[in-house]
């Protein structure tokens, strides 16, 4: 089979010919149709992600396709038979024509969801739903501030925040990206390139006494500015550090305003609380089936253009998700 392979960190991936894998007990083999790219893919190729597979490895974390073969003990799962359309999450290995996945970690797809949409769905929507509903306990009527509001996870935070009844302040770079955030339901728009982000955030949230929940996949100066905009007992979610800079957290500010900083690593739940992920995805798929979620895919690229897809993420040219098709 054909697969992209990273043979050395900080070097471009190469297309390689690898043996087609055979499913073992509890596994299925998926014929991959689409792979959603994430900022984590870029970091993993640089050895900067929290998970560091040994080289050489096949990149790609989020996939959708059809079941091609099943291992022992899988025949008893009638919803996971050859030909079934499924989506899943892998620590790596998705950018290949075939991959093996634990049967227990695959999800069946609504008839109305395309394989491209499925490949763009799990991590972005799952991250935002777990962060807002499970970790920050966002309530209807609260004010939510979303950084990177036109990006892969930020845009879903806008959409989910509105569905949960929050007032959403979207912060993104430039009018074009802010227009996309507005279409997802944002109430107030702030250009992150403003000369005084701290003042802009405080002014936007002032009518409601400040921000209740901050959703931050950017890090750096954005996080620091958000602290000043929070109302007492505000919750700040750290989702990632797309800016490349870890924020400086002034503990005295947290103390005085009774603020909470909350971390969220979606993939971590696979190891210590997988049922939390399962329940979250069940809710999200129901919302999708009801027409309440609209995955935004800005670029759909062929398999050979995987490096171009990474470059779109690196240079922040993408909005929503970038999907690679096979």
At residue 48, the pLDDT reads: 87
Ranges under pLDDT 70 in the chain: 75-76, 78
pLDDT tens for 61-113 read 999 999 999 988 776 576 778 999 999 999 899 999 999 999 888 989 999 99
Domains of the chain: 2-121+295-325 (3.90.180.10), 127-266 (3.90.180.10)
Name the pTM for this structure. Answer: 0.90
3-state SS assignment for residue 132: helix
At residue 75, the pLDDT reads: 61
pLDDT tens for 243-266 read 888 888 889 989 999 999 999 999
At residue 30, the pLDDT reads: 97
């Amino acid at each position: 089979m054909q697969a992209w392979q990273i043979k050395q960190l900080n070097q471009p991936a190469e297309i390689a010919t690898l043996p087609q894998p055979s499913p073992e007990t509890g596994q299925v083999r998926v014929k991959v149709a689409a792979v959603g790219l994430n900022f984590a893919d870029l970091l993993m190729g640089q050895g900067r992600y929290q998970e560091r597979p040994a080289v050489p490895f096949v990149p790609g974390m989020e996939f959708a396709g059809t079941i091609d073969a099943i291992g022992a003990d899988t025949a008893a799962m009638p919803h996971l038979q050859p030909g079934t359309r499924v989506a899943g999450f892998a620590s790596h290995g998705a950018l290949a024509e075939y991959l093996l996945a634990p049967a227990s970690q695959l999800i069946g797809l609504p008839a109305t969801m395309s394989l491209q949409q499925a490949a763009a769905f799990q991590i972005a929507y799952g991250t935002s739903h777990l962060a807002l509903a499970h970790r920050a306990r966002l309530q209807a009527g609260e004010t939510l501030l979303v950084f990177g509001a036109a990006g892969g996870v930020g845009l879903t935070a806008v959409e989910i925040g509105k569905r949960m009844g929050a007032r959403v302040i979207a912060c993104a770079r430039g009018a074009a990206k802010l227009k996309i955030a507005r279409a997802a339901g944002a109430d107030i728009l702030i250009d992150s390139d403003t000369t005084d982000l701290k003042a802009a955030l405080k002014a936007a949230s002032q009518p409601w006494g400040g921000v209740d929940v901050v959703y931050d996949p950017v890090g750096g100066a954005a996080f620091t500015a958000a602290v000043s905009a929070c109302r007492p007992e505000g919750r700040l979610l750290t989702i990632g550090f797309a800016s490349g800079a870890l924020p400086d957290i002034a503990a005295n500010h947290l103390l005085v305003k009774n603020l909470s900083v909350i971390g969220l690593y979606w993939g971590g739940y696979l190891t210590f609380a997988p049922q939390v992920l399962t329940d979250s995805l069940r809710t999200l798929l129901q919302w999708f089936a009801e027409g309440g979620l609209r995955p935004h895919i800005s670029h759909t690229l062929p398999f050979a253009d995987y490096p171009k897809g990474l470059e779109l993420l690196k240079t922040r040219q993408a909005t929503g998700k970038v999907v690679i098709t096979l």
